Each structure stands twice: as C-alpha cells, then as structure tokens.
Amino acid sequence: MEIEFDPTDQYTFFFSTSDTGLFKVEKKEKNTEPVKLETQGLASPTALSMSDQGFLLAAFACGSIA
C-alpha cells in the first residue's frame, strides 16, 4: 500500500493497493469513504508521488505514469 498526502489540503490523501487500484479520501467531507479513481487499462499502481503544487503522479505496473 502506498499513501500520499496533498500538500495543499491537509484533509485530502491518496492511496493505492496492488489488488484494487487507486483511491482518494477527503476527510473534510461528511462521507469519508474512499473514492476509487479511474485507472482502466493501466494495470496496478506501483508507486505514488505528490508534487509541491498538489499534482499526484502514479506509476503503474504496465510502465505508464499518470
């Protein structure tokens, strides 16, 4: 499991699992359930990184970066 926090919003973070994909959680919302992000055709996320401006970079097992 990989976890990255948004540097511009302390209540938002992203996580990935090799089995189920890439998710976003916004803790300031009443519904704090993870939202699955669309990654169809990209295989499993293998690494996450967050830029200083709040952009999420995700590497996938297929070699793609989104």
Interacting residues of 36 by C-beta distance below 8 A, sequence separation 6+: 20, 21, 22, 23
* Pairing label, strands 21-26, 12-17: antiparallel
pLDDT tens profile 3-13: 889 888 889 99
Residue type, 66: A
pLDDT tens profile 34-55: 998 888 888 888 889 988 887 8
pTM of this structure: 0.78
Residue type, 64: S
For tokens 């089995």, what's the residue? 19
